[in-house]
Amino acid sequence: MTRPLPPRSRPAQGPAQGPAKRGEQGQKRSGSRVPVELRSLMLLGGVTVGVLVAAVIAWMGPWSPVALDAPSSLVAAGEPAAAVEAWLELSESPWAGEDNRRAALWRAAQISAVELDAPERADALAQRVLALDPQDDLRSDVLTLRAALAPRVGDGSGAAALLVAAANAAPGADRRGALLLEAAVLEEARAQLDPAALVALYAEAAVVPSVAAEAQIHIGRLQLDAQPAAAYEAYARALQAGAEGDAARTARLGMATALERLEGRDAALAVVDEGLAEEPEDDSLRRRQRRLSNGRR
């Protein structure tokens, strides 16, 4: 009779490990390492903060437009002297670009002239701006300021020359003409130029259409006594250039005076009558008409 085989013995097994136990072992293996995704976010955040800090420093540095504009708030707060000092400090910074240095000196010059009533300091600052070789538009503005300051710093005779230099640097024809006209008026007031030189200066301004009529009237006035024929032509050019109102009246009366000396009352009266046809209520022309008409009798 055959005996049944004994049951096979199974190897001993340890206690079953649950999910919690496996998790603890996983933590032991990983130690305190930060997950890759989290580390990437932390690095990215650090870079972002660094970039922001660098951007703020760059934006607020002496090379920045913000640094140039910041002292303006001091002017608005009633502290122009502090603003000037801030601009001067900026202009002397080794980190400030040439454009910022030039602009800071220019703003300091303007505030010194207008707000602080310090013409000598303003003129000195303006000269420092010119030494930095500014562009033509800024050069023209700086020279114009120096011309305005010239009488107050003891250089009234140089004002007209500064205006001519400003005109030569002016970027637009209208500004150039206005500056040349102002220079001629200043020279005439000084009475240091002979009439021919003054006429030449006014003629240079008369090339610009926006001031041509006014400049031609000045030329006619200067030439009326010695050169009535030339004066007549200048007054006529003023009308052709579009003189209106008082300027037109002055031109017509000047033409009448020149013709009266050249050709007599009848020729002068014809000019006056033509003017009254356009401006029948003009009292000045009406009085001249009566005088010329009475003289014919």
* DSSP class per residue in 147-201: HHHGGGGT-GGGHHHHHHHHHHH-SSHHHHHHHHHHHHHHHHHHT-S-HHHHHHH
Asked if residue 186 lies in contact with residue 198, where contact means CB atoms within 8 angstroms, the answer is no
Q: Which of 169, 129, 174 is nearest to 149 (CA)?
A: 129
Asked if residue 262 lies in contact with residue 228, where contact means CB atoms within 8 angstroms, the answer is yes
Rounded Cα distance between 113 and 119, Å, is: 5
Look up residue 142 and give its amino acid: V
The DSSP 8-state label assigned to residue 15 in this structure reads P
Q: pLDDT at residue 172 above 70?
A: yes
Rounded Cα distance between 150 and 156, Å, is: 5
How confident is the model at residue 36, as a pLDDT? 61
Please list, residue by residue across 67-104, b when 16 or more beta carbons sit within 10 angstroms of its beta carbon and e when fewer do: bbeebeebbeeeebeebbebbbebbeeeebeeebbbbb
At 24-68, the pLDDT tens digits run 554 444 445 556 665 555 455 554 544 444 334 444 454 466 778
At 188-221, the pLDDT tens digits run 999 988 999 999 999 999 999 999 999 999 999 9
Chain-centroid distance, C-alpha 25: 75
pLDDT above 90 covers what percent of the chain? 69
How confident is the model at residue 26, as a pLDDT? 47
Rounded Cα distance between 84 and 108, Å, is: 5
Could you tell me the residue ranges of all domains in the chain?
59-134, 137-192, 194-297
The reply to whether CATH 3.30.1360.120 applies to domain 194-297 is no
Rounded Cα distance between 206 and 213, Å, is: 7
Rounded Cα distance between 202 and 142, Å, is: 23
Chain-centroid distance, C-alpha 141: 7
Rounded Cα distance between 118 and 52, Å, is: 42
CB-based contacts of 97: which residues, under 8 Å, 6+ apart? Answer: 63
How confident is the model at residue 205, as a pLDDT? 97
How confident is the model at residue 202, as a pLDDT? 98
At 102-154, the pLDDT tens digits run 999 999 999 999 999 999 999 999 999 999 999 989 999 999 999 999 999 99
Asked if residue 282 lies in contact with residue 276, where contact means CB atoms within 8 angstroms, the answer is yes
- At 98, phi and psi to the nearest 5? -65, -35
Greatest distance between any 2 Cα atoms in the chain: 181
Q: How confident is the model at residue 17 (pLDDT cuts 50, 70, 90)?
A: low
Angle at 51 between CA 45 and CA 54, to 5 degrees: 140
Rounded Cα distance between 74 and 69, Å, is: 10
Global pTM reads 0.76
Q: Is the dihedral of CA 136, 141, 142, 147 positive or negative?
A: positive
Asked if residue 150 lies in contact with residue 158, where contact means CB atoms within 8 angstroms, the answer is yes
Rounded Cα distance between 72 and 87, Å, is: 9
